[in-house]
Copies of this chain bind each other. A is one copy, B any other.
Amino acid sequence: MLVECVPNFSEGKRPAVLQALLDAARRPRVRVLGLSADPDHNRAVMTLAGEGADVVEALFDAARTALQLIDLRVHEGSHPRMGAVDVVPFVPIDETPMAYCVQMAQELGGRLGSELGLPVYLYERAARSRDRVNLARVRQAQFEDLGAWMADARHRPDYGPASPHLTGGAVAVGARAPLIAFNAWLSTRDPHVAEQVARAVRGSSGGLVGVKALPMTTPSREEHPVQVSMNLVDYQKTSMPMALDLVRREAARYGAQVVRTEVVGFLPLEAVIESARYYLQLTDVTAEQIIERSFWTHRLGEEP
């Protein structure tokens, strides 16, 4: 069963360290889909995909390398972080159940705790208590404050020692639905319109469940610099068509239209199929009907 994994490492500057992390993760059955490093944040995000067990192996080796090469005592960057390997979410691909991703998070978490001596917090769908579902509540402390924060019995990790790793801090390992970064440019130059639309659309202010939205200005797009930047965190509940239709309606209140959209990064096949289903009234179409996919399944060794 296939999973995606998107580990965040606290290193965004030293090319040799980034290369070592990549080398540690690489193996024949795991595909490295991307590595994006930000020197200001001093942080890198790697995207891997493969069978669960292979990805756990890749992550374990990359985490060990991170502990060897990253020392948070001398790490500076604008992004908050509590660990050398900071966050490790497992994400289902295709028809992989979420429960399998939770299991992979537990397997990796167990090994990071016992073999590398790293405190591990299970979060989001892998969380074992309600106060660990939200990643922001798990990562309250910066590395520098982690010892004091962990001393509180409520902050005992799910795996590993009850105090921080000397140089590597602690890590949050979890399971979550795929996230779609979906942006819509508006026909107006007024950032205030994007602000109003984003507020109407995002779940936290009364809009759609599973939608985060912020107004953005992208000066490099001279003609239409104003954008509503969305994260769809549960596209099976709130799809791209549902989010975009609300953006279009709200923008229309201010005489603005959507001129173009984009998806940044990856997109689950099911999200594209759901868009076709929605607009084409193609109620029963399934991924099995996509000829490339049937071939892909075959290549993984399944029998028809």
Interface residues of A (CB under 8 A from B): 2, 4, 31-33, 49-50, 93-94, 178, 184, 240-241, 244, 258-263, 265-269, 272-273, 275-276, 278-285, 289-296, 298-300, 304
A276: which of B33, B276, B299, B304 is its contact (CB, 8 Å)? B276
Task: Given A32-B304, A275-B275, A304-B31, answer yes or no on A269-B291 (Cβ-Cβ < 8 Å).
Answer: yes
Nearest Cβ on chain B to A117's Cβ, whole angstroms = 33
- With most chain B CB atoms within 10 A of its CB, the pick from A93, A269, A273, A304 is A269
Task: Given A32-B304, A295-B2, answer yes or no on A269-B290 (Cβ-Cβ < 8 Å).
Answer: yes
A260: which of B262, B269, B275, B283 is its contact (CB, 8 Å)? B283
Chain B residues near A295 (CB-CB < 8 A)? 2, 31, 49-50, 93, 296
Nearest Cβ on chain B to A11's Cβ, whole angstroms = 21
Task: Given A178-B291, A293-B292, answer yes or no on A240-B280 (Cβ-Cβ < 8 Å).
Answer: yes
Inter-subunit contact B291/A4 (CB<8 Å): yes
Chain B residues near A283 (CB-CB < 8 A)? 260-262
A285: which of B267, B269, B276, B293 is its contact (CB, 8 Å)? B267
Nearest Cβ on chain B to A230's Cβ, whole angstroms = 12
In the complex formed, the residue of B with least CB distance to A4 is B291
Q: How far is the CA of A2 from the CA of B172 in the complex (A)?
A: 41
Nearest Cβ on chain B to A36's Cβ, whole angstroms = 14
A290: which of B31, B244, B267, B276 is its contact (CB, 8 Å)? B267
